[in-house]
Amino acid sequence: MNPQLLLSRIRVVLCRPSHPGNIGAAARAMKTMGLSSLYLVEPKQFPDPEADVRATGAVDVLQASKITSSLKEALAGTIFAVALSARQRDLGPEIGAPRETVARLLREAEQGEVALVFGNETMGLSNEEILHCQAAVTIPTNPDFSSLNLGSAVQVLCYESRMAAFAGQPPIRVLGVTPFASPPATLDEVEGLYGHLEKVMTDTGFYNPEQPGRLMPKLRRLFGRVRLEKDEINILRGVLASTQVKTGYGRKD
């Protein structure tokens, strides 16, 4: 299925959010990752200018958001819901890792609407709310400071959703091609550089061909790792030649 369509089937549900700024941040996080369906269950303060400010260019997501009075209502029409939860709850669904759980979310999204459910900033989700969900997920955190911001938690799970939706497709359009890359140097051009280097180093006394040691092998190892391009050979040989021309201790060869 088309990745964009899959992402459009994921609802983000925020239960009883306290801070309008977090609602705005969640909207922005969603839109950057290609999600757009936001549900707010009993938001303490919404709409609010602070939400608009934090949403920046994602105010459209806020404007299209739906406000409900219960999680049950926000989940109407969905076929699968994942609760974000920091700990295993009595009778609650087993807690999984983000990558695996999101992979399942997207498999389910092939069949219909699904949801990512987030609790209140301080209290998280109630046990009753968790029981409305079929799976639970924890974002691994530092055990000494697990206080992930609500907007950040939305960002991480939306990011994982996008990564999963586009898995197998090149997500980045410009991979590989540096605009200024020149064609790769041929091995004989690289040999020409080594010969030039050796000549200059011999002339300056830095290298003694009678006692070669490991100097040339080390330089070969260095430039062998870099996959030199034609332009780069020209630059390096230009530098070498300039030290020769300037001083006359050797000739450009």
Least CB distance from residue 175 to its own copies, whole Å? 7
Least CB distance from residue 178 to its own copies, whole Å? 6
**Rg of the chain over all Cα atoms, to the nearest angstrom:** 29
Give me 139's structure tokens.
């974002």
Q: How far is CA 216 from CA 140, 189, 252, 253, in A?
A: 49, 16, 20, 19
Least CB distance from residue 66 to its own copies, whole Å? 20
Give me 13's structure tokens.
């549900």
- 3-state SS class at 157: helix
Nearer Cβ to its own copies (83/200): 200
Nearer Cβ to its own copies (69/145): 145
Rounded-to-integer distance, Cα 41 and Cα 120, Å: 10
Least CB distance from residue 13 to its own copies, whole Å? 19
Nearer Cβ to its own copies (38/74): 38
Question: What is the separation, in whole angstroms, between the first and last Cα of the chain?
Answer: 61
Least CB distance from residue 253 to its own copies, whole Å? 16
What one-character-per-residue DSSP string does 103-148 give? HHHHHHHTTS-EEEEE-BTTTB--HHHHTT-SEEE----BTTB---
Nearer Cβ to its own copies (103/219): 219
Nearer Cβ to its own copies (77/176): 176
Are the C-beta atoms of residues 149 and 156 closer than 8 Å to each other?
A: no
Rounded-to-integer distance, Cα 18 and Cα 48, Å: 12
Nearer Cβ to its own copies (68/126): 126
Least CB distance from residue 46 to its own copies, whole Å? 19
Least CB distance from residue 71 to its own copies, whole Å? 21
Nearer Cβ to its own copies (166/192): 166
Are the C-beta atoms of residues 16 and 119 closer than 8 Å to each other?
A: yes
HSE of 118, CA atoms in CB hemisphere, 13 A? 28
* DSSP code, position 35: -
